[in-house]
Amino acid sequence: MLNMSNMRANLATAFPALSDGSRLATSSKSELATILSRRHGLNIGCWNLCSIKCSLTQAFVAEEFYLYNLDILCVSETRLNGQMTLDLIAPSGKKAILFNSGSMDGSGLAGVGIIMTPKIASGLLDYEAVSDRIVMARLKGQSNNLTILSVYAPIRDAPDHLKDKFYADLQMTMNKIPQGHPRDRW
């Protein structure tokens, strides 16, 4: 049985908030070039978590993240409030980083995020918490940059005004993604 009392999930201090335009601590240029190169594939997944508030759940998610050998995991229904960066520590000691976009009203509903390995996060160019249902991350690549969107659409029975707002926000976010050669625009 794992001793979970030693598990911690503190707000990331090594990775500052990116809303002020600051960047994460980066690796060498040659290392970053190999992270998102055509020769090295990325393992990307998605998961509806139904909540990641508990530190035990955070540890479980981090362990599964590494068990499946993922580089990036888009998650929905995090139920965390506000925009934050959170370290997820697996029982094995490996760290993953969650970039979360949750509700600003404190309701603890919805919430989406993108979980990355620290190596992938070192190539993060931009992170935007659009709403509690949309988050966008931009990663530096060797020849092209990569945009990742994690979205959590309202259910079919949701009020029309919520669905309309979601799809309008999604279209606005997609319009921000550079077309053609991304290095020319970002």
79 with 51: CB under 8 angstroms? Answer: yes
Residue 66 has pLDDT above 90, yes or no: yes
Percent of the chain with pLDDT over 90: 49
Instruction: Give the tens place of pLDDT for each residue, 47-60.
Output: 998 888 888 899 99
Contact indicator for 97, 90 with CB cutoff of 8 Å: no
Over residues 112-133, mean pLDDT: 93
For residue 9, give the nearest of 104, 71, 95, 69 by alpha carbon. Answer: 95
pLDDT above 80: residue 17:
no
* Range of lowest pLDDT (19-28, 59-68, 102-111): 19-28
DSSP H helices in the chain: 29-35, 55-67, 118-121, 160-175
Number of other CB atoms surrounding residue 143 within 10 Å: 11
Q: Check residues 34 and 120 and name the one with the higher pLDDT.
A: 120
Indicate whether 113 pLDDT > 90.
yes
Considering the entire predicted model, what is its pTM?
A: 0.75
pLDDT, position 14: 29
pLDDT(21) > 50: no
> How would residue 109 be classed by pLDDT, with cut points 50, 70 and 90?
confident
Residue 154: φ, ψ to 5°: -65, 155
Would you call 28 helix, strand, or coil by DSSP? coil
Task: Look up residue 48 and give its two tokens.
Answer: 């509806």
Q: What is the mean pLDDT of residues 134-138?
A: 94
Percentage, residues of the chain above pLDDT 70:
74
